[in-house]
Amino acid sequence: MDNAQKRILMAKTGLDGHWRGPTIVARALRDAGFEVIMIGMANTDDIVSSAIDEDVDLVGLNVGGHIDVAIRAIEGVQKARPELPIFAGGTIPPHAAKQLAALGVEVYPPGSQLTDIVDAAERLTGRA
Amino acid sequence: METTPIMTQNTSDKPVTCTSGIELKPYYTAADIPEQHRPNVDVAPGEGPYHRGFHPSGYRSKPWRIFQLSGFGKPEDENERIKFLLKNGETGFIMEHDRNTADHCYNVNHPDVVARREDVGLTGAVMQSVRDTAICMDGLPVDTSFGHAGGAVVQHAPFALAAYWTVAKQRGFDLSTISGTGQSDFNLTYLGCVTKEQIPTQAGLRFNADIMEFCNQHLPRWVPVSIAGYNAADTGLTPDQELGVLFANAVEYLDEIKRRGNMSLVEAARGCGGVSFRASIHIIEEACKMRAARLMWNQLLRERYDINDPKVGNLRIHCVTAGSKMTYQQPLNNIVRGTVMALGAILGGVQSLGVSGYDEALSIPSEHAHQMSVRIQQILQEETGIADVTDPLGGSFYVETLTAQLVEKAWTFFEAIQQQGGYLAALDSGWLHAQAGENQYQEFMKTESGEQKIIGVNCFKDDESPFQVDGFMGTDDAFDVATERLNDVLRTRHEQGAARALKQLEADCRTDKNIMPAMMEALAAEVTLGEIGDVYREIFGNWNTPIQT
């Protein structure tokens, strides 16, 4: 098992404090052996600098608000580290999920299986 | 004689439990009702211990209030939606504030708000000054309707209430006659949706006691604080824990009022006797929870505070159907879920009800989803006959047994919280978050494994619906308009008066004076939300959040 060497940054793009989803996902990822760095509610600048400073292998965004805020964070990360994969979860309606997919971001809306999310993390970090 | 189950092929020996972890029997008889609860079974509604309700005539004399959470965009957008709901038959109204600004007491020009400007107005209207609140309240029936002024968040409540009351006064309404609430609930942002910055819990307790005393003097018909079990339950606490945490919270208020000695305990009990619960999907258990709540409140007041006035023991319950039970997949199924959860609440005899929108898992409610939430309630109220008889489940062997078992289990959780040093200490330490987090995870794993089936999510996933539900995105000019209006207020208000009022509020915050009189002056002088938030941050500092949010 080499998941311990894989690091995942998790952040919330909104100022809304619902913590159920990201906390459960973080726990599942840790249980699968990943190192999860949770920075909670964060602005684009914080997300980008953490993605660089923490030398992560994957970014997970919890989106609870407008999709444009998430897109700004995604574009910031992609500009700084074009190779870094990103996935997202939260209350993302279908039209917004399409926008994220167009940016190469995998979307896991409410009701997604944890096993699918863990599988995606393994695939996106090149472990699987 | 050997019997064969007809309805189910489940021959597993695994015990069946309700959400609260109480094992359920296949059926119940009179012998199952716990000894101590038997004398309660045959009392009428309107008689102690009141688990059957406070009025024999129940919904015949007073239908439950149709009370939907509402708000988005600019104050005028929110005003329009509220009027739409009232026109469609809503019987109270709720003014939701933008969470980005309100929860943190930020103005819209705060860097953390500017950084996510598109989020502004997505969950409620931006109301930074009394001018914004006036737009939102335009033409609303403040005098004849039960109004929710916003202010669900503890640190935001004094501002939201003072804004509402100031506008009401400007419109010529007599504050002593209007009714409503602002909620001011700890569970919301100290447990459920934890904010980035907020005042420590002890400062919040002081705010709530200030509001209770101020209402006692000036707004006797107002519900000054309304503890929301909902916010604890939708974070993961089970129904028995929701009951336990709600009364552990109530005890903090009552003990604080007693310590301060400015108002009687009887008045304090009335002041915090309007509560809200989550109505989740195990509907018999949920109905039992509402019955248990009334019984527990009566017990608590009698045994801990020696309050025997039956009118004080009248616990008024608002309910909202569980948002987290609404699914993203096949969203029209949520109309059924909303209806069933509403039915559970009504069978439990609640006084007020909000039904989550069918698009809950995608966005805030669209106009159509909102209308459906009202229609669900109207159909239940007018067509089903469910409102004809008070406490229709009363006397059921199962319901009486489960009610008594929930009471017992809830008091056990209440005691566990006391062991942690009380409700606020259990928030400060993160103990309650740990309980909720573990429950969330276990609940999630049951869905993950398929042990708990969720239709459309982990089974029956084919969706052939021709109806596309794609979430409601509100308006796109809330941030810009809020910015303009903020600048306008700062430019055109009487600056000396605003500065003086803010200084007085700051001075009162530093002492143990009630902050509400100075808050009313500050709002009248057009002091803005962010300026008041800055005072809080300077004086009270930031709560040491026990979890990563």
What is the CATH classification number for the domain harbouring A17? 3.40.50.280
Domain region containing A93: 3-124
Provide the token pair at B96.
């939701």
Distance CA B275, CA B379 (A): 25
Closest-CA residue to B139 (of B87, B68, B74): B87
Q: Cβ contacts (< 8 Å) between A94 and chain B: which residues?
A: 362, 470-471
To the nearest whole angstrom, how far is the Cα of B117 from the nearest Cα of chain A?
8
Co-location of B337 and B371 in the same domain: yes
Say whether the peptide bond before residue B49 is cis (omega within 30 degrees of 0).
yes
Residue where a domain terminates, one of B452, B474, B507: B452
Question: Which chain A residues are closer than 8 Å to B122 by Cβ?
Answer: 65-66
- The amino acid at residue B314 is N
Distance from CA of A122 to the nearest CA of B (A): 19
**B116 with A95: Cβ contact below 8 A:** no
Are B320 and B378 members of one domain?
A: yes
B393 confidence band (pLDDT: 50, 70, 90):
very high
Give the pLDDT band (50/70/90) at residue B4. Answer: very low
Asked if B426 contacts B420 with a C-beta cutoff of 8 angstroms, the reply is: yes
Nearest CA to CA, how far is B474 from chain A (Å)? 10
* Number of domains chain B is built from: 2
* ipTM of the complex as predicted: 0.94
Residue contact B327–A94, C-beta within 8 A? no
Report how far residue B543's alpha carbon sits from residue B396's, in angstroms, rounded to the nearest whole number: 46
> Taking CB atoms and an 8 Å cutoff, what residues of chain A touch B194?
17, 19
Domain final residue pick, B452, B479, B505: B452
Are A93 and B457 inside 8 Å of each other by CB?
no
Q: Is residue B91 part of a domain?
A: no
Q: Is residue B179 part of a domain?
A: yes
Q: What is the pLDDT of residue B289?
A: 98
Provide the residue range defining the domain that includes B275.
16-64+227-452
Answer whether residue B325 shows pLDDT above 80: yes
Residue range A112-128: average pLDDT? 93
With a CB cutoff of 8 Å and minimum separation 6, the contacts of B314 are B50, B54, B273
Is B76 inside a domain boundary?
Answer: no
Closest to A17 (Cβ–Cβ): which among B195, B445, B471? Answer: B195
| Confidence band, pLDDT 50/70/90 cuts, at residue B1 | very low
The predicted pLDDT at position B154 comes to 98
* Torsion sign over Cα B115, B117, B119, B123: positive
Nearest CA in chain B to A97: B470
Please report, for the domain that includes residue B323, its CATH number. Answer: 3.20.20.240
pLDDT of A19: 87
Is B31 domain-assigned?
yes
Residues of A in contact with B153 (CB under 8 A): none
- Among A8, A13, A15, A46, most B C-beta atoms within 10 A, so best to mutate, is A15
The whole model's pTM is what? 0.96
Q: For residue B112, which residues of chain A lie inside 8 Å, CB to CB?
A: 15, 43
pLDDT band at B65 (very low <50, low <70, confident <90, very high): very high
Give the other-Cβ count within 10 Å of A101's Cβ: 12
User: B137-177 pLDDT, tens per residue?
Assistant: 999 999 999 999 998 999 999 999 999 999 999 999 999 99
Q: How do residues B498-539 score in pLDDT, each as one tens digit?
A: 999 999 999 999 999 999 999 999 999 999 999 999 999 999
**A16–B441: do the CB atoms touch at under 8 Å?**
no
Question: Is B332 among the domain residues?
Answer: yes
Say whether both B280 and B377 belong to one domain. yes
- Distance from C-alpha of A109 to C-alpha of A106, rounded to nearest angstrom: 10
Q: Average of pLDDT values for A17-26? A: 90
pLDDT tens-digit readout, B216-271: 999 999 999 999 999 999 999 999 999 999 999 999 999 999 999 999 999 999 99
**What percent of chain B shows pLDDT beyond 90?**
93
Provide the number of structural domains found in chain A.
1
Q: Residue range B186-202: average pLDDT?
A: 96
Q: With the C-alpha atoms ordered B474, B477, B480, B482, is the resulting torsion angle positive or negative?
A: negative
Q: Between A44, A66, A111, which is nearest B115 by CB?
A: A44
Residue B2's pLDDT is what? 44
Q: Are residues B289 and B375 in the same domain?
A: yes
Same domain, B307 and B252: yes
Q: Given B420, B452, B484, which residue is the final one in a domain? A: B452
Domain assignment present for residue B483? The answer is no
Nearest residue of B to residue A24, measured between CA atoms:
B441
In a shared domain, residues B182 and B171: yes
Q: Examine the pLDDT at A128 and tell me if it is beyond 80.
A: no
Q: Is B506 in the same domain as B439?
A: no
Q: Which residue of A has its CA nearest to B445?
A: A114
Q: Is residue B9 over pLDDT 60?
A: no
- Give percent of chain B above pLDDT 70: 98
